Amino acid sequence: MRTIKGPAIFLAQFTGDKAPFNTLDAIAGWAAGLGYRGVQIPSWDIRLFDLEKAAGSKDYCDEVTGTLARHGLVLTELSTHLQGQLVAVHPAYDAQFDAFAPPAVRGNPTARQEWAVGQMRLAARASRNLGLIAHATFSGALAWPYLYPWPQRPTGLVEDAFAELARRWRPILDAFDDAGVDLAYEIHPGEDLHDGVTFERFLAAVDNHPRANILYDPSHFVLQQLDYLAFLDIYRARIKCFHVKDAEFRPDGRSGVYGGYQSWVDRPGRFRSLGDGQVDFARIFAKMAQYDFTGWAVLEWECALKHPEQGAAEGAPFIDRHIIRVTEHAFDDFAAAAGDRALNARVMGIKAAVD
């Protein structure tokens, strides 16, 4: 068994135009000061990171890791959540998701998708240049508007949607395979990959591609009322990234899983800062240790109530308390006896076997 690495923090929710959140050096100093040992970087935020430069320049990548190292930090993964989302966009969401793309491709879904695919290829090369082994992203969605089957879905719609999703992602997965990096899809409502069944559909459609893996975030399973501990048991071999994020689900007589179009603060299911929700992190970290998870425990802060800086400050010690330093020997090794087949035979009351 291996001890999980951490605590780390995903920087996407904290970047801004004011110090210390507007440069990599400044935000790294802020994160280190809170007790974090690693950072996950949003690759779309030019204030922190230049994805195109990282894909083509090992020297630039060394500058990035050197900046982090001066603060005692390492880079855990890059994230392309926004670019990955744009690999597959249903037309119903074109106007909303255009904001994720550069102005030159807005209003042109074909050009926007081509840009997104190019970004993913850059991310594969950048991850390799940075010496990373996993990458965090979204799958995008073509079938999500048809989640609830009313009116009845046309026959074969879901199968065709996943076939098209696989067609778009297969070359990207191959690029990550060439780079030696696992692509970890965050299993997330709004994406076609939003639970175990949909991940399995996708995996089958890409012929069980070895680089098609999972970013595990239990908060999204609380909001879906999915067993997030059993998910770990089932998919442990494919889990390559871990977002430590809390949530709660408080249904009442007026609203449940779908939330009634309410704001986050009023929804029965809402994200919370670490320790304020219902996720059983003690059992999650125990399973991560049991299943020899080799990655990082990365805080993703999203909370409808608490200030982000308070959530970040509380997150590092929370994760640190939950990390299990795995044992190097069994607790009862002190009572172990040397191998003795004759003794074994006596214990079982049988005649010793003849070698």
Cα 312–Cα 49–Cα 106 angle in degrees, nearest 5? 105
Mean pLDDT, residues 49-74 taken together: 98
By the 10 Å C-beta count (0-12 exposed, 13-18 middle, 19+ buried), 229 is classed as: middle
pLDDT-derived band at 67 (thresholds 50, 70, 90) equals very high
Strands 74-80 and 38-42, bridge-based pairing: parallel
Q: How confident is the model at residue 189 (pLDDT cuts 50, 70, 90)?
A: very high
Mean confidence (pLDDT) of the chain: 96
pLDDT at 35: 98
Rounded mean pLDDT of 72-93?
98
pLDDT 10s digits, 280-294: 999 999 999 999 999
Name the pLDDT band for 177 (thresholds 50, 70, 90): very high
pTM as predicted:
0.94
Q: Which CA distances in Å does 40 have to 26, 172, 205? A: 15, 21, 29
Residue 39 has pLDDT above 90, yes or no: yes
Asked whether residue 273 carries a pLDDT value surpassing 80, the answer given is yes
CATH number of this structure's domain 5-348: 3.20.20.150
